[in-house]
Amino acid sequence: MRHRTTIALVVFACACLGVAAQQAPLPSPQGRPGGVDARAAADAKGTASIRGRVVAADTGRPLVGVSMTAVSDAVRRQATTDRAGVFGWNDLPAGQYRVTVNMVTGYLPVAFHGDPETGGGEDITITDGESFDKADFRLLRGGVIAGRIVDEAGEPIEGVQVQALSVQYAAGLERLTPVEGGTSRSKRTDDLGRYRVFGLPPGEYHVAATAGAFNGSASNADLATGYAVTYYPGTPDPAVGERVKVSAAQETPGVDFALVPARAFELSGRVVDASGTPAVATVVMMPGASGTIGITSMKLAGADGVFTFTGVTPGKYVLQTLPAPPPPPGASLQPGSGMTFASQVVSVAGDTRNVLVQGKAPCAVTGTFEFEGAQPAFKPRDLRVTAPPTDFVRAPAMGAGYPQTIRDDWTFELRQMWGPRIIDVAAPPGWALKAVKLAGLDVTDKPIDFERDNVGRLQIVLTNQVTEVSGVVTEEGKPVRNAAVIVFASDRARWDFQSRFLRLATTDENGRYRIAGLPPDEYRAIALARVRTGAGWQRPAFLDPLFRDSSRVTLGAGEKATLDLKIVKPR
């Protein structure tokens, strides 16, 4: 089935969307970043164990070499299935664990008792000395999109890269995002122009054929020039492209289209650091003017800082350098080391040369944690400061984190910061962010511009007055397993990517859900039978139609509310 998209789209690799840990035994809600401190994950030992087996759902055969992960509030462990498909961990501390299958070529990753389409899953709770030996998985094969790529005369073209992209939401924009999963989600055409992209989660996808400058190491040299990036059914504009619907373990054939011819030019220039010294750097070119990243071309600028892209068709592009890892604390930045980040929008209408891409030195920010209510029992290493960007032109669109140090005296430092970002905190259960202050001003949930603002010392206030909303989801009087519960602020101004005021949870086997840590406010809640995985549910265009069928709930500081819901069918 094909659908035409009507929204304005750009192409983007979505910022990481994590899962915030919650208390036992309910599935963990989505919506804000979380994480496990690497030192705690390595040090924690115990006497409990988890074991299971992974097989293919269609044949029942064991799957060998599957990467497995077990994560709790303080532990992250990896394992690999053996020849019998068996995996396990024998030295786990007591706790609540989310056990997941990582990426497997051709199969869909999923959490224990989860749904590959909607996510969710059940956490496994174990006590000291307990052994849980039924963490079994039956993996579904992913969906497939297959077709042919031809030229304007209908002749097949070999060596064109074809990839599937989905609509996601980040930094306030709906964007096309390349589907994760390595080579199975991106394939080149054969000598008959045929391609087959497999291992796709259920959903709707744009299909892009990237010739010219974005074709990577094409086997056919003629593809270096003469064709634009083309979206099914044969357009250079993703806004008028059609989506292809994919189901698990099903093939969607006949997705054939012709590449769009276009004039091709050279785009070249020089990278210099903040001091003007030529810099060694990887230069990334992305189509569009909004920090696009789903389709990229990369070139290395050598010791002279010079880079050259060929086969570039007319249009606007973002040029960014990939920031290198920062020097150790206290070390100086060497001129020309490539440690700086640069970003620039350029327009190409002909050969475009001598473009100067000048780097900007990174900003570092320090701060302190403060606690309202009581001193915490957890350690500083159990916290993680997050700083998602709100502008993917002025901040790195890929290849850059923000290294941080959190000290035993509850002070912290964030390094390698560029552009506007929102400060947030992934805190242990029972604690939540209350406020972020900069120079005495409340900047909670507001972007801080690390280039233009006078960024002084931050104060991050955490509270143990944590809100909670929980209940049971039913349909025709019966509890519903793996239903999606979305809780969102009544104020539409709060609807933004990774907002603290948007959460999604899935129900357990008894239809129960629980969401903790929402800021005090008025909210709407709704239960849906299915919501596909990813960040698309955070889009205002998705939430707005749900408003009138949702239920109202108000949460004060530390307040716990019970709200039972019935499955709603969207109008």
CATH 2.60.40.1120 applies to domain 38-139: yes
Domain ranges (residues) in the chain: 38-139, 142-258, 265-358, 363-463, 467-566
How many Cβ atoms from other residues are within 10 Å of residue 112's Cβ?
A: 23
Matching fold, domains 38-139 and 467-566: yes
pLDDT for 415 equals 84
pLDDT for 38 equals 44
CA 375: distance to chain centroid? 33
pLDDT for 18 equals 30
467-566: CATH class = mainly beta
Residues of the chain with pLDDT under 50: 1-25, 33-42, 182, 218-222, 224, 333, 335-338
Q: Of 453, 368, 442, 378, whose CA–CA distance to 409 is shortest?
A: 368
400-414 residues labelled b (16+ CB within 10 A) or e (exposed):
bebbbebeeebebeb
pLDDT for 117 equals 73
CATH number belonging to domain 142-258: 2.60.40.1120
**pTM to 2 decimal places:** 0.81
pLDDT for 233 equals 97
Joined tokens for residue 433: 């962010």
CATH classification for the domain delimited by 265-358, as one of 2.60.40.10, 3.40.50.880, 3.40.50.10490, 2.40.30.10:
2.60.40.10
Task: Enumerate residues 6+ apart whose C-beta is below 8 A from 349.
Answer: 265, 314
Rounded Cα distance between 232 and 361, Å, is: 41
pLDDT for 401 equals 63
pLDDT for 16 equals 32
pLDDT for 129 equals 95
CA distances from 432 to 4, 22, 390, 421, 553 (A): 41, 12, 22, 19, 19
Helix (H, G, I), strand (E, B) or coil at 43: helix
Q: Of 497, 506, 479, 490, whose CA–CA distance to 551 is shortest?
A: 490
pLDDT in tens, 556-571: 999 999 999 999 987 7
